[in-house]
Amino acid sequence: MGSRLLLLIFPLILNYLVEIALGGKTSSFVRSQWPSTDIPLDNQAFVEPDGYNAPQQVHITQGDYDGKAVIISWVTTSEPGSSEVLYGTKENEYNLKSQGELKNYTFFNYKSGYIHHCLVSDLEYNTKYYYKIGAGDSAREFWFQTPPDIDPDAPYKFGIIGDLGQTYNSLSTLQHYMQTGGQTVLFVGDLSYADNYEHNDGIRWDTWGRLVEPSCAYQPWIWTAGNHEIEYRPDLGEWSTHKAFLHRYATPYMASNSSSTLWYAVRRASAHIIVLSSYSPFVKYTPQWMWLRDELKRVDREKTPWLIVLMHAPIYNSNEAHYMEGESMRAVFEPWFVQYKVDIVFAGHVHAYERSYRISNINYNITSGNQYPVPDKSAPVYITVGDGGNQEGLASMFYDPQPDYSAFREASYGHSTLELKNRTHALYQWNRNDDGKHVPTDFVVFRNQYWGSSTRRRRLKKYHHRWNPNLFASFEDILV
């Protein structure tokens, strides 16, 4: 198995070696993209399920802190119907049930359907569950797989998608991801882009929910809110923010002692995932700041060695689009990211792809210190994956010359996968949608920031035998 994997990734490793030798790389690839226009409403991608009041826009997310619960959500359009979920471990045998809750909302002249959220808890790890929602001939059946136990060597594969929208490019990204074997999506914000329509057309929230259902009805999507979820429209009499998002997309925020749906944390397999809100107050003494301070102290790298942060606006970005918009959050949170040795920070917002080296700028304080980011082995890698395919098109204008902190960048649509192999190593890959084709383009072997220390590696080799160090031995000098 190890030799087969090495043969598979060898061309990508050669590309990475060239990158190391030459510094950062700006891809010269120019794609002939499909038009950045939304799919028509009558397209098959948006078709409503058969049957009166049939559940639609079905999606699930993690429902607790440790992965033994899911929140199942769906919409009915004709009448409220039941919020009950029937489920079990055998197909067509639903010997368990859970009762959910119902809500709806209006936005200007749009009235939503009936939105159901049901917490299904006390699940067994590493188990396939079948579930049924709706009634009579209109009932629909799905399934999901729970993650393995919380364990430092638990392998797991995440997909990373951002700024998806609902164009043909969006559909291409979604279909390509569904072929990767990814088990959970880390979504870094900007879902439907309904706010780009007159009066923030809520119908486009409904079509987006049907577009992504083939994936997120069967596996959790971990939600991050972006700027297109804010929907602050006082001119329409809509004075609150995130109204559609908060009604439609539940998160397990209370399980991590958060006070808001918009920032929270979950543990899944060998990962501790922290979701932040770029558009909520985060400076010192605000609720988000105080929560993150406490949550980072809760992280146990002996149990969940991979520490991953999600946000929408990138902290490091060399694209002209949204340049420096993440600077204020960087000034507040970057010292903590370095102190706690965060492995990777994923962001969206910029409609292009970019990966940084491990760098920090924590020594600059306006009046003194190095004003440029410098290499820092304790710092995260920052990755922008805002290239899902939305109607606003690609952000193709990168600053030239490429900054020293930028390792690879390209303005193309695509998605990423992060495959945690064990407590020490993970395989990361960005996949370009090349005119509808799945093209692996950027590849990195990440070494865990906590277990990557020489002392812990020696302890691991002495006492643990559940991993195969020889698998990555040939690449020890190029690990990130």
DSSP characters over 290-353: HHHHHHHHH--TTT--EEEEE-SS-SS--BSTTTTTTHHHHHHHHHHHHHTT--EEEE-SSSSE
Rounded Cα distance, 17 and 15, in Å: 5
Q: Are 306 and 448 in contact (CB under 8 A)?
A: yes
Pick the closest to residue 256 from 213, 295, 209 (CA basis). Answer: 295
Q: Tell me how crowded residue 137 is: count the other CB atoms within 10 A of its CB.
A: 9
Averaged pLDDT of the chain:
90
Q: Tell me how crowded residue 40 is: count the other CB atoms within 10 A of its CB.
A: 9
pLDDT (tens digit per residue) in 105-162: 999 999 999 999 999 999 999 999 999 999 999 999 999 999 999 999 999 999 999 9
pLDDT (tens digit per residue) in 342-366: 999 999 999 999 999 999 999 987 7
Q: Which amino acid is at 308?
A: I
Mean pLDDT of 278-307: 98
| φ/ψ of residue 107, rounded to 5 | -135, 105
Does the pLDDT value for residue 475 go beyond 90? no
User: Given this model, what pLDDT does residue 18 score?
Assistant: 36
Query: Which H or E element spans position 4?
Result: helix 2-22
Residues 6+ away with beta carbon under 8 Å from 312 = 162, 188, 189, 190, 224, 225, 226, 227, 277, 278, 279, 347, 348, 349
Does the pLDDT value for residue 461 go beyond 80? no
Does the pLDDT value for residue 402 go beyond 60? yes
pLDDT band at 22 (very low <50, low <70, confident <90, very high): very low
Q: Which member of 322, 349, 415, 425 is catalytic?
A: 322
Rounded Cα distance, 132 and 46, in Å: 21
Q: Please compute Rg for the chain using Cα positions.
A: 22
Rounded Cα distance, 163 and 151, in Å: 31
CA distances from 34 to 39, 170, 199, 388, 398 (A): 11, 10, 26, 13, 21
Q: What is the pTM of this model?
A: 0.92
User: Given this model, what pLDDT does residue 430 score?
Assistant: 96
Strand arrangement, sheet containing 271-275: 25-26, 406-410, 353-356, 381-385, 344-347, 306-310, 271-275, 264-268
pLDDT band at 465 (very low <50, low <70, confident <90, very high): very low
Rounded Cα distance, 408 and 277, in Å: 26
Q: Are 13 and 19 in contact (CB under 8 A)?
A: no
Which of 198-202, 203-207, 332-336, 370-374 is predicted with the least confidence, judged by mean pLDDT?
370-374
Is 194 in a helix, a strand, or coil? helix
Active site residue 322: yes
